[in-house]
Amino acid sequence: MVGKMVAVLDLTTIDVADMDLREGSLLVLHDVSWERYEAIVAAFGERHDCRAVYLDGVLAIMAPMPAHERPHLIIGYIVTVLLDAMEIDWEDFGATTLRKPAKRAGLEPDKCFYIGENAAKVRACMEQMDLNDYPPPDLAIESDVTSLTTFEVYLRLMVPEVWVYRQGEFRIHLLQDGEYVESVQSLLFPSFPVGTMMLPLIAQALQEGTSKMLRDLRMSLVRG
């Protein structure tokens, strides 16, 4: 992992509203109740400088670096171009907090999408994304620079497909028979070689600019 600073605490009464985490740092809290987890997430409010992952009383709070944020944003743009080319409806829910109290699991993905029929189910959602009331996102995207993706949380939330970009590698993970299996092909995009096309597109975006990469991608899709 890159630039990671880890603090491990047993305190559950820490005031997180004014927490100032250095970029690339990781704070781990133990013995955190579900109620305390929800209060901490609420205290963060509209802050976008932290990500929280909760599993069985352990809460990890991460402060991403720019190197963390750029790849998943670029991948998200590519996803929308591919979906538009397929004429499939989608809704981008970004880093919305996903939670399932009965499973004692919750997190904010770097980015997540509802696709097709599920897009219509969540389109009007402006409140808490409780997965007892809404389906899980069809796709979650993680850019793991400051922390490892917690696949156990995604498993409990039943997210069918998780993409992970980490240290120059891109991997597709599909939920099959109660576990995540690595695949070279996305089930959401059967007509596109997502497993091999993503890294060159990310590299082009970083070298030539995201907008130019997306324009080129759209043109290549039109040409077939």
**Domain containing 208 — which CATH number?**
3.90.1570
| Res. 150 pLDDT band, cuts 50 70 90 | confident
Structural domain including 144 reads 66-223
173-205: pLDDT as tens digits:
999 999 999 999 999 999 999 999 999 999 999
Residue % of the chain over a pLDDT of 70? 83
Identify whether 202 is part of a domain. Answer: yes
What is the residue whose two structure tokens read 């997180």? 16
Task: Give the pLDDT score at 143.
Answer: 86
Give the model's pLDDT for residue 4: 44
* Residue 171 maps to a domain: yes
Q: Is 11 inside any structural domain?
A: no
Number of domains within the chain: 1
Residue 39 within any structural domain of the chain: no
Higher pLDDT, 147 or 163: 163
Looking at the predicted structure, is the pLDDT value of residue 69 above 90?
no
Q: Give tens-digit pLDDT for 32-56.
A: 999 999 888 887 765 556 788 999 9
Distance CA 68, CA 167 (A): 10
Per the domain annotation, does 197 fall within a domain?
A: yes
172 falls within a domain: yes
Please, what is the average pLDDT of the chain? Answer: 85
Which residues are 60's β-sheet partners? Answer: 28, 53
Asked whether 27 and 61 are in contact (CB, 8 A), the reply is yes
Q: Is residue 55 part of a domain?
A: no
Tell me, yes or no, whether 105 lies in a domain: yes
**Taking the chain, what is the end-to-end CA distance rounded to the nearest angstrom?**
38
Among positive and negative, which fits the CA dihedral 74, 76, 79, 80? negative
Predicted confidence (pLDDT) at residue 10 exceeds the cutoff of 50 = no
What is the arithmetic mean of pLDDT over 159-172?
93
pLDDT band at 14 (very low <50, low <70, confident <90, very high): low
Q: How many other CB atoms sit within 10 Å of the CB of residue 153?
A: 23
